[in-house]
Every structure is written in structure tokens, then in C-alpha cells.
Amino acid sequence: MNDLQFLWDSRERPPFGSKRWLVVWAKRALQFRPLMTLMLRRRKLRARGMEVGRLSVVDTLDLKGPGTNFSIGERTFIAHNAELVALEKITIGSRVVINDRVTILTGSHHVGDPAWRQFRKPVRIEDYAWIAVGATILPGVTIGYGAVVGAGAVVAKDVPPLAVATGNPATVRLDVRPRDLDYDPVIFLAPFEAWVGRSKGALVTSPDTFPSGEKTPMSHEKSTS
């Protein structure tokens, strides 16, 4: 099932000719071009060799490195001026939010090396993680399931699942978020909301709405060390 088929099958269905019907179809007409822009952008990213899951919105164009070094799950949002430098693999799970001016780095230089040699390490961001405005993720870091990186934080070490990391250098508070996270950060974006509607949006956020055979979300039981 592709994205357009999903939106069609999950669409709000007000009575034909009603005031709500007119409003809904006016929204869909107004949001048609933005929706097609999202679809086209994702197609271009996939043509570069990137893995991009269903309904994920990759608004940034600042993606450096081979396309095959990027893997993005389903229903994930990456803001328009985030910077991702994939000298090594960047793996991003499902229902992740990466806000404006976030920087994710996979390479740097050894400060204590007389030859200033470069090193590269992969970065992994698990399902339901939220990377807030202006945060920096350094090479080799794993952000665990449901973890939050606060605005402006600089993260050089792994953040455990459900923890919150803030500051520079980042300090971590454990088990801040609930374990039963169940929200969809992209379904209420205007191009999608025009189809599913605000009242119905909550009904199509469950993984059960996807047909069997799709990728299993990153497990929060996996070690982040």
C-alpha cells in the first residue's frame, strides 16, 4: 500500500454535499500541491539510494553523504533546515521528530592525534525519539526509544530509552517519558490532515493500520550501549 492509497483508504468521509464535505474537499484541493511535493521529494531521496518509510516527511535538503548511508523509518518528521552528515550510517526509526537546526554528525577528527586523523562512527535514533531545536548529535551516539534531546543540547554519549538529555555537554535524566508511547508526529501535517481529518487522525496512528509484512519498528528493548 503506497502513501496515497493509505490516505484514500483512511480518508474522512463526511456526508456528500454537507458543509463538512465542502470544507474537506476544499482543504484537499488546497493541499494537493504540497502533498505532491512531499511525495516527489521522497521519491528523489529513494532514487539516491536512501531508505525512507511510508508517510515520512524529510523537509531538509541538507543531507550529506551517500544515499545508502541513510535509513529512515515510517511516519518520521525531519525539519527543513536540519543537517545530517552521513559519512557513516545514520539510522532513524519510526515516528521520530528531528526539529529545526539539528545537526547529526558521523565523523570528526581525533583532537589528540598529531596527524589530526579523521574517524567515522554511525548514529542510531530509535522509534519515538524527539531531537529538539538546535541540538547536536555527535558520532557514535545512539538515542534510545522515546528519548528526548533538549533544545541546544550537545550529545556525545548514548541516551537511554525514555530519558531526557539537556545541556552542553548533555546530562541525562532517566525514565522521564511513559513506556506506552502511541502518537503520530506527521498525520496532522496539513497535507495529510486534509485527508484523514483531525478527529479521525487518532484512529489511524496505530501500527495495526498497516498491512502485515512491513518493517517492524525499532525495539526499545535493544541495548543502546
Catalytic annotation, residues: 109
Helices in 15-126 by DSSP H: which ranges? 19-30, 32-47
Which candidate, 166, 165, 162, places its Cα nearest to that of 147?
A: 162
Residue 172 pairs with which residues in a beta bridge? 165
Label residues 3-37 b or e (16+ Cβ within 10 Å = b): beebbeebbbeeeeeeeeeeebeebbeebeeebee
Answer left, alpha or beta for residue 143, where phi above 0 means left and psi between -120 and 50 means alpha. beta
Taking each continuous run of H as one helix and of E as one strand, the counts in the chain are 5, 19
Gyration radius of the chain over CA positions: 19
The three grid cell numbers given for residue 53, joined into one nine-digit string: 518509510
Helix (H) or strand (E) holding 70: strand 70-72
87 φ, ψ (degrees, to nearest 5): -70, -25
CA-to-CA distance for 77 and 75, rounded, in angstroms?
Answer: 7
